[in-house]
Chains A and B, each alone.
Chain A
């Protein structure tokens, strides 16, 4: 059974601080996707990484896929209150379905 461990589960920081969210597994995934979910809404795709060691930047967000394609990280620089939300990592399998981590609830206080 493929599992994704996401940490931390909760994170409360002040505006302007940096943070990193981790997503780890003992399994290899064909891809790793990061989503952000607002209350009452569906997950919105932020990025997909498919190559081991790949790094993608999206403004203040930096995503990295581990060399062995078993782990990933999301780093946010100079967090803003608008970054508040639930961040989800999800591993893709060749079979098509996504395996989700438990999510990281981020709160950025002004």
Chain B
């Protein structure tokens, strides 16, 4: 009964490079959420996706950030031209239906040097 799987767990990128974070939801879950946790801050909602659709992207920065959840395969959070301020823990979560209990993955820690 695998939980939400995220990879990589740790990622180091130089400024200007691209970061791709992957998330496989729990079995039977078709709703995926991405959250960011900056040092000394709480979890901030970024984007909510259902298979092939973005439901709510109100927390996504306007530039450089994008997310997808294709029909097949994991959800991807993509950060282009990373800057030091992007260094954070990025958490993926999933639920069976909207409004159901949400379960989190172990997180992906991005460090931009």
Contact = CB atoms under 8 A, between A and B. Distances in A.
Interface of A: 30-31, 33, 35, 40-45, 48, 88, 90, 92-103
A35 B91 CA distance: 14
A53 to B, nearest CB: 19
A35 B102 CA distance: 10
In the A-B complex, the 5 residue pairs with the closest CB atoms: A96-B98, A42-B104, A100-B43, A102-B42, A42-B106
Q: Chain B, interface size: which category?
A: 20 to 34
B43 A41 contact: no
Nearest to A99: B45
Interface in B42-57: 42-45, 48, 55-56
Given A42-B91, A45-B104, A96-B98, 4 more contacts: A44-B104, A45-B102, A97-B33, A100-B42
A25 to B, nearest CB: 14
A1 to B, nearest CB: 10
B106 A41 contact: yes
Interface string B17-49: 000000000000001010100000111110010
Nearest to B55: A96
A98 B106 contact: no
Contact of A43 (B55, B99, B104): B104
B45 A98 contact: yes
B84 to A, nearest CB: 20
A88 B42 contact: yes
A6 to B, nearest CB: 8
